Structure 1
């Protein structure tokens, strides 16, 4: 007989992120700051692809330990979190070297191997953190290492093959996120352990004379604690974006134009904070609690944080050269990131509010179409004015979010 217990959600006591978890989350600052080196001053398709690949690797590693702390609660081992934090730190420290090697066409692949080894070690160590016999029903991919096989192979491959194998490994993990179901995994384990031939073999071996098989636990994430951790991660990413803008401003010539650019940049980031945290849920804009599954919320959170982190790079370029138009790549990176942010907001808004057609149309027109038109038509516009226009769009959404919509 196999005992499968899913912890009832209504018996949980509300809790908040611990000091150790908050300390662990700060490693996101180092990771986001390092990723700025990937996009650089002239972001192209290769840089954007590498940025996406490295961000997903960092996010998956962070998510593995975040969910472990969420489920383990008071039994979370602080030392385990610190080891995971060190692994993420090594990954973040090697990002500039990876960017230089891949995008600068250097011959030294040591940074790539360091990043790969740190990623493999962090994911394997994190996947072993779970209590024996526990299966995470909401996001089981963090407990399995199938997606790491291409990363192992990359240690003996050439530079270009390394990146292809990394992408294959990340792609496999993303596929597993879509197809793996914790409930189905439990059912298959139950069928396997309770099969007649399996039961006869246990009886002949003399093991467990009481007839009981191993105890398999189905565990679920704590929704309230999870939303807090996801929201904190978005706040940390936004804070690092502010830091990058401040650093760029410290090297620019002080004048009225710099002040205007700084205000517009801060308003844009603060508006995203308001939409994601104040008027959102789990760091996702326009979302309401309990409207989408945890697996979907985690996937959308990955996309939102990646987009928010991207915005900081063109904003820093504008602060440094506000009176000049952005390059075509920089303009599309900024406008495309804002449009992508609102696209994700439309998805979460539809999930939260159902068929609220006027609200959805308004968000599509002002949040998606307007930034894309700016990216297409604002070629002669200075970077400063482009940021002002985008900040006004974000603040307008924030203003209308505060006002009740007519029914």
Structure 2
């Protein structure tokens, strides 16, 4: 017997689940938010805009993660209307991003976009956190059911614009800390103890009426590994696709010449190489990762960083296309080189953590992927942005060549994630 999934198709036991059309539609709305943030970062590149980007990106990602895990765990019992309501909330957040950027740097300006974004984020996160059935505790990423990180966002509604941003940062920081320290198994144990105590109290009060209190059923739920890794990988692919769109859009606004053609080709090679490292030679969209080697909670944290870095690389590539043959300003050069170095640094981390990297691989990935981009950021002050992109493309091609030439590290490649 099979049950219909959220797209009306049967889900049979023993068959790996795949992302549904509704879930893919939902992902596109989130990536629209990433694109809106990229435009904000590309308009005026400085520490303030970079900080705002680093603040708002986790807000979109945490909201997406909550609904993604709901669909993963609920499977055939996922409600389409719940995902649609989440999409509407995310849409409000996306539409508020330009106004948030303007209000954040225009002291004494209109704070309504800031409040709109905050209220939409609070409401969407709270609504998403109530998606699970009564008595279910998400073991792999319990922060999606914890609303503590929303408290600073709620308070921010009544303060000025600078206070709002500080409180938002405190809320995001609190969520990130909770991701690291909160264990789903501990929450499950505490919840079971709490409900047992409440049931004992009810039994004592109802004995006079001849009725016994019932202990609610509390149980932990874990992610479906195949569906989980596919959703993470698809999100990375969609972000990479949006990155290509940004580069193409930037190229359409400048005069065509050989330099533009070279820049476009190098940009495509860089983004396609990231696809190869994250998807073909990686797992769940994470470069050099192997399934079954790290907890799902750690994979999600790395996924947030990888997708944020890829979106940042796209902003840098678009800037280079518009800049032409001129050298990049110091902030632009460091953003490009630093983002690429960070991507490869995350690849080194995932490779070591999942035991897919021996000493030879780790050294080569560190030297070519981290040391070379950082050296270019430090010393290539007079180098054109186009040449920097070409160098980055060479780096990613070298990594792909290493992956194809070097023998695989011993060990079976699993298709699961360990629970937290």
Measured in 2, the distance between the counterparts of 1:12 and 1:31 equals 36
Stretch moving more, 397-406 or 302-311: 397-406
Assess if the C-alpha contact under 8 Å between 2:247 and 2:264 holds in 1. Answer: yes
Report 1:271-350 matches (<5 A). Answer: 271-350=273-352
Aligned with 2:69 (options 67, 70, 89): 67
Q: Does the 8 Å CA contact 2:107/2:161 hold for their aligned counterparts?
A: no
Deviation at 1:103, TM superposition (A): 2.8
| Structure 2 CA distance for aligned equivalents of residues 117 and 55 of structure 1 | 16
Contact (CA 8 Å) 1:28, 1:233: kept in 2 or not? no
> For 1:26, what is the secondary structure of its paired residue?
helix
Number of paired residues?
Answer: 396
Over residues 184-241 of structure 1, what are the superposed CA-to-partner deviations in whole Å (9 max), with x where a residue is unaligned?
Answer: 111112223334x862542322499456400012100111101000001101111111
Structure 1 residue 395: Cα displacement: 1.2
Q: Is the 8 A contact 1:100 1:106 kept in 2?
A: no
1:256 to 258, 262, 281: 258
What TM-score comes out, normalization by structure 2 length? Answer: 0.91
State the Cα deviation string for residues 349-379 of structure 1 (Å, max 9, x = none).
0122267111101111110011000000111
Q: Is the 8 A contact 1:371 1:390 kept in 2?
A: yes
Decide whether the 8 Å contact of 2:142 with 2:184 is kept in 1.
yes
1:167 partner SS: helix
Post-superposition offset of 1:102? 1.3
> Whole-Å Cα distance in 1 between the matches of residues 223 and 379 of structure 2?
45
Aligned to 2:118: 116
Flag the 1:406–1:222 CA change in 2: closer, same or farther, 3 A: closer
Contact 2:206–2:213, Cα closer than 8 Å, also in 1: no
Could you list the runs of 5+ residues in structure 2 that have no partner in the other structure?
1-12, 410-420
User: Is residue 42–residue 315 contact of structure 2 (8 Å, CA) maintained in 1?
Assistant: yes
2:367 to 365, 368, 375: 365
- Measure how far apart 1:143 and its partner are: 1.0
The question of whether the paired residues in 2 share the 8 Å contact of 1:28 and 1:236 is answered with no
- Secondary structure of 2:406's counterpart equals coil
Q: Distance in 1 between matches of 2:132 and 2:232?
A: 20
Q: Supply the distance in 2 between the matched residues of 1:192 and 1:383 (Cα, whole angstroms).
A: 59
Aligned residue for 1:3? none
CA 406–88 in structure 1, closer or farther in 2 if over 3 Å, else same: closer
Which gives a bigger RCO, structure 1 or 2 (Cα 8 Å, sep 6+)? 1
Secondary structure in structure 1 of the residue aligned to 2:89: helix
- In structure 1, the gaps of 5 or more residues are 1-10
CA distance in 1, matches of 2:237, 2:314: 13
Aligned-residue RMSD, C-alpha: 1.7
* Structure 1 equivalent of residue 195 of structure 2: 193
**For the residues of structure 2 that align with 1:288 and 1:369, how far apart are their CA atoms?**
24
What secondary structure does 2:354 align onto?
helix
Distance in 2, Cα, partners of 1:288 & 1:259:
36
Structure 1 residue matching 2:219: 3-state secondary structure: strand
